[in-house]
Chains A and B, each alone.
Chain A
Amino acid sequence: MDRPETDQTIRRLIDPFNKKGVEITEATTFAGDLEFDSLTVMDFVAAIEDEFDVIISMNQQAEIETYGQLVGAVHKLQADR
């Protein structure tokens, strides 16, 4: 899967968690713009992990603040598999 495809898939996955319909850009932040709390983060991360069959530890999550960083990280995790 190339980066645009990864991006499209994550956009689809984020939709049910984006309750306020915030416009998603590379710079959108999860804590600030999307107001994800810890339980939402867990469910959202689980959805991504299941879709891509990867593991994103909390240590890795701590490095991810924006949507763009997430797409990059998932893309890389897939490539490394």
Chain B
Amino acid sequence: MSEGISQPDKPETLEGESRDLFSKFDDLIAMREGLLASGQEDPFNLVMEKVLSPTRAICNGRDTILLGTYNYMGMTFDPDVVEAGKQALEDFGSGTTGSRVLNGTYQGHKECEDALREFYAMDHAMVFSTGYQANLGIISTIAGKGDYIVLDIDSHASIWDGCAMGKAEVVPFKHNDLEAMEKRLRRIPEGAGKLVVLEGVYSMLGDIAPLKEMVAVAKKYGAMVLVDEAHSMGFIGEHGRGVCEQAGVIDDVDFIIGTFSKSVGTVGGFCVSNHPKFEILRLVCRPYVFTASLPPSVVATAATSIRKLMHGSNKRAHLWENSKRLHGGLKDLGFELGTEEPQSAIVAVIMPDLERGAAMWEALLKEGLYVNLARPPATPANMTLLRCSLCAEHSEEEVETILGMFKRAGKAVGII
């Protein structure tokens, strides 16, 4: 699912103006103006003036608890991580100014890929400049014209864009519906290439996929399996390898896609695999080849962070405690949540409609709490959601403070 789109400057639409290529955005412009006219702070134009820690920032002049950053393991201010970045900036400069296949592979990029191979205990790792490009590149390169991609309807925008770019036949199935997935795999013409694309954690509702069953079915039909573990890396599974690890199917998965912009705490994306021919992708994957590689400081922070995450079991345990407490507390307050039980570090609070969702978002911000406002069309079933993502650095007390804020804001807006 795509994130909320922001238009930083308020576009002006003049009456009677003739149609041009921007006319297709008129409905969205009107919806946005309607929302802002009701006195809202703009949910998609928030500025963090100062970031104090993984869990605190000054937002629009207010000291704010951050509960919507995907900074699950709180690595952004880890002293070792920051130090590694400073050192690399000093030693290797501010950027590579080149593609990985030309002048853009530094020692740091290799070390980062080494750290990933060790983290996942896999043979190959390929680092991309963003997580979006990792999905875009891998999917579009391995599944081309005439091949079939079977994917969950709630897949992330980067997965959909990868499918479209590769021109494969795209066959979606109902969210997390094993039977619907199997029916589609069964009907694919014999001899066609098959790729099943799944996510470990779906970021809108914070629910996980039944990977044990789904991966088994995909293999039964001879499909390759790609799992996006963006929202589970570092947190779910004994070694933090994700839902694949937790479900015991990591050895049956052909490709794991991940990102550095969540638990790892910087930016970048990757794919790990045991496929014997994997390395050829470095030459044929256009979103890998035709872009500059990550700056040395970024790969240095990523490598350091990944290595620390291997030993993060105490933090993982605390994050689970936080997730359970917030989920249970919000449920007790009477909020409707995306999952019956906490399944990940995302707790999605379902709002009755966009207007009250936006009002609740603003009320929380004024209380000093930042959460993600997710609205149609990025959300499943056109829901408006307040998405909370917890951090291992949120203290027990902070979680209680957050619950108090939700209680006051929810009563003020009339949701509970």
Could you list which residues of chain A lie within 8 angstroms of chain B, going by C-beta atoms?
Answer: 37-39, 42-43, 46, 49-50, 53-55, 57-60
Contacts and interface: CB of A to CB of B under 8 A. Distances in A.
Nearest to A61: B170
Interface string B157-183: 000000000010111111000001001
B14 interface: no
Contact of A55 (B187, B377, B380): B187
Contacts of B183: 49-50
Interface residues of B, number: 18
B180 A57 contact: no
Contacts of A42: 153, 172, 174
B154 to A, nearest CB: 10
A32 to B, nearest CB: 15
A60 to B, nearest CB: 8
The 3 closest A-B CB pairs, nearest first, are A57-B169, A55-B187, A58-B170
Contacts of A59: 167, 169-170
B382 interface: yes
A71 B170 CA distance: 20
Given A46-B180, A55-B188, A39 B170 contact: no
B170 A46 contact: no
Contact of A54 (B148, B167, B187, B381): B187
Interface string B302-340: 000000000000000000000000000000000000000
Contact of B174 (A46, A57, A60): A46
B155 to A, nearest CB: 12
A42 B184 CA distance: 12
Interface of B: 148, 153, 167, 169-174, 180, 183-184, 187-188, 377, 380-382
A49 B172 CA distance: 12
A53 B153 contact: no
A58 B188 CA distance: 13
B382 A37 contact: yes
A57 B381 contact: no
Contact of B170 (A50, A54, A57): A57
Given A49-B183, A58-B169, 19 more contacts: A38-B377, A39-B380, A39-B382, A42-B153, A46-B173, A46-B174, A46-B180, A49-B184, A49-B187, A53-B187, A54-B187, A55-B171, A55-B188, A57-B170, A57-B171, A58-B170, A59-B167, A59-B170, A60-B169
